[in-house]
Amino acid sequence: MKRDPRALEAALVRLEWQELKRTRSTVQSFTEPSGRVVTMEAAIGRPLIDFSSNDYLALSRHPGVAAAMAASAEHWGAGSGASHLVTGHGAEHARLEEELAEFTGRERALLFSTGYMANLAVVTSLAGRGEWVLLDRLSHASLIDAGLLSGARFSRYPHADAAAAERALAKESARVAVVATDGVFSMDGDVAPVAALARASTAHRAWLVVDDAHGLGVLGNGGRGCLELLGLSADEVPVLVGTLGKAFGSFGAFVAGTSDLIEFLIQKARPYIYTTALPQPVAAATRASLRVAQRETWRRERVMALTERFRQSATQLGVPLGASTTPIQPVIVGSSGAALRAQQRLMDAGFWVVAIRPPTVPRGSARLRVTLSAAHTEAQVDSLVETLARVCARAAAAPAEALA
Ligand code: PMP
């Protein structure tokens, strides 16, 4: 795009016409300690129940986690001052890395400032020009961007189709360096066919990268994510990416694997090397939340029980759900306009459920992305389902509008 203010304006107008313009809503305050009920800007003017955050275990506002952050800030200050390889690597980072390695049952873990950067780091370090990266078609944007940035040829197999991935691997066996997938798909909530991908990747000596941003903390008896749920070992899935801003309620991400893998990333991964280390108070908060998540198993049980309750009553009332059994429960609406209208109707009824539109999801599959948290009450879930049923029935009665 050439430097032309009108070009920017025209692009923005086009997005608006296409009903694809993204907007931000500002949270003004939390009206209850758990943070599930929020007030937004004056235009809305009344509390909304948040059914769209990724705070599955309700740890982001846990008093112990916030206190750990505050105490660490008193001691260490707000910023780390430099990258990990200069002077930014502190005792809290080091301890958290050890604890994450232990939690995931791997030799070492390496902290990153965000999951986006962790994914860029692993894929660009393990694959390059002349090689191939295979991705699930619905992989998170950060994996897709990682594939692009790596300079490798990247190819996407149909969603959750491990047989297609295996065929692609067999065809380009010598060249596929990395197979990468979300563990739990962020916009669909289903669990990837990791066991089959692990068999195929092992057979063709490709690195399997599982980004379990939405599974860690939530799935498996010990909250160790989709690999625990599926009974898969560190050998079968050599590269595990986890994020800390979702179930663990703080911020940041990590990669866990063998000592050599982590050392290799420290040497090679540009999104690790060339950026400021995340603040130590953030690492301290994560250490506290990791302890709470492991000790208070009721959080995991509760979010899963609420998910089941949501699924059962939504199915009974005819709300169209997908196959997900995780706390990510998308309600596919169709067009972007229909999703925006549904979002507004839910907001009018006191619920904050965000419409997700292309390009985040494929065209024609705009949706309301409902997420459950351990802090929701049964009454809140029931009342959301009743409202969704009304909103979906209204959209179905106006199919032309829904498909417009
Ligand atoms: N991977 C997946 C599957 C995600 O959903 C997200 C966040 N939406 C990320 C990676 C990026 O993590 P972060 O927000 O820490 O950058």
Structure tokens at 63: 């008093």
Is any ligand 1 atom within 6 A of the Cβ of residue 169? Answer: no
Q: Say if 212 falls within a structural domain.
A: yes
Do residues 333 and 361 make contact, with C-beta atoms less than 8 angstroms apart? no
Is residue 85 located within the same domain as residue 228? yes
Lowest mean pLDDT among 92-106, 198-212, 299-313, 353-367: 353-367
Query: Checking DSSP bridges between strand 207-211 and strand 132-136, what pairing results, if any?
Result: unpaired
Rounded Cα–Cα distance for residues 212 and 214 (Å): 5
Rounded Cα–Cα distance for residues 263 and 368 (Å): 41
pLDDT of residue 47: 87
Residue found under tokens 């991964």? 269
Average pLDDT over residues 248-270: 98
C-alpha of residue 345 to centroid of ligand 1, in Å: 28
Domain boundary among 278, 295, 312: 295
Is residue 154 located within the same domain as residue 224? yes
Lowest mean pLDDT among 24-33, 146-155, 280-289, 291-300: 24-33
Nearest CA to ligand 1 atom 12: 115
Is residue 209 located within the same domain as residue 307? no
Write 227-236 long-range contacts (CB < 8 A, 24+): 227/183, 227/194, 229/191, 230/191, 230/194, 230/195, 232/194, 232/195, 232/198, 234/104, 234/105, 234/106, 234/258, 236/195, 236/198, 236/199, 236/202, 236/208
pLDDT of residue 402: 46
Q: Say if 8 falls within a structural domain.
A: no
Mutate to test the pocket of ligand 1, among 184, 243, 251, 254 (most ligand atoms within 8 A of CB): 243
Average pLDDT over residues 51-61: 95
Q: Which of 135, 240, 146, 148 is nearest to 181 (CA)?
A: 135
Given a cut of 50, whether residue 113 has pLDDT beyond it is: yes
pLDDT of residue 41: 60
pLDDT of residue 360: 92
Do residues 243 and 210 make contact, with C-beta atoms less than 8 angstroms apart? no
Question: pLDDT for 121-173, tens place per residue?
Answer: 999 999 999 999 999 999 999 999 999 999 999 999 999 999 999 999 999 99
Given a cut of 90, whether residue 288 has pLDDT beyond it is: yes
Is residue 49 located within the same domain as residue 67? no
pLDDT of residue 404: 38
Domain boundary among 249, 272, 295: 295
Q: What is the DSSP string of 105-135?
A: TSSEEEEES-HHHHHHHHHHHH--TT-EEEE
Q: Say if 58 falls within a structural domain.
A: no
Q: What is the DSSP string of 328-350?
A: EEEEEEESHHHHHHHHHHHHHTT
- What is the domain range of residue 46? 24-53+297-403
Q: Say if 309 falls within a structural domain.
A: yes
| CATH code of the domain covering residue 138 | 3.40.640.10
Is residue 140 located within the same domain as residue 275? yes
pLDDT of residue 68: 98
State the average pLDDT for the chain. 94
CB crowding 317-341: b at 16 or more within 10 Å, else e: eebbbbebebbbbbbbbbbbbbbbb
Is any ligand 1 atom within 6 A of the Cβ of residue 212? Answer: no
Nearest CA to ligand 1 atom 9: 115
φ, ψ (nearest 5 deg) of residue 299: -65, -45
Given a cut of 80, whether residue 70 has pLDDT beyond it is: yes
pLDDT of residue 403: 42
pLDDT of residue 293: 97
Is residue 76 located within the same domain as residue 221? yes
Is residue 70 located within the same domain as residue 31? no
pLDDT of residue 37: 76
Given a cut of 80, whether residue 44 has pLDDT beyond it is: no
Rounded Cα–Cα distance for residues 152 and 339 (Å): 36
Q: Quote the number of domains for the chain.
A: 2
Instruction: For residue 180, give the amino acid letter.
Output: A
Instruction: For residue 352, give the amino acid letter.
Output: W
Q: Say if 15 falls within a structural domain.
A: no
Q: Say if 18 falls within a structural domain.
A: no
Domain boundary among 251, 271, 295: 295
Rounded Cα–Cα distance for residues 179 and 156 (Å): 10
C-alpha of residue 242 to centroid of ligand 1, in Å: 9
Is residue 303 located within the same domain as residue 285? no
| CATH code of the domain covering residue 351 | 3.90.1150.10
Lowest mean pLDDT among 246-260, 329-343, 390-404: 390-404
Is residue 77 located within the same domain as residue 203? yes
Average pLDDT over residues 284-303: 98
Axis crossing angle, helix 280-295 with helix 91-104, rounded to the nearest 10: 30
Mutate to test the pocket of ligand 1, among 116, 188, 278 (most ligand atoms within 8 A of CB): 116
pLDDT of residue 40: 66
Is residue 197 located within the same domain as residue 336? no
Q: Say if 311 falls within a structural domain.
A: yes
Is any ligand 1 atom within 6 A of the Cβ of residue 136? Answer: no
Q: Say if 47 falls within a structural domain.
A: yes
Is residue 43 located within the same domain as residue 186? no
Is residue 262 located within the same domain as residue 346? no
φ, ψ (nearest 5 deg) of residue 332: -75, 130
Q: Among the atoms of ligand 1, which is closest to the Cα of residue 243? A: 15
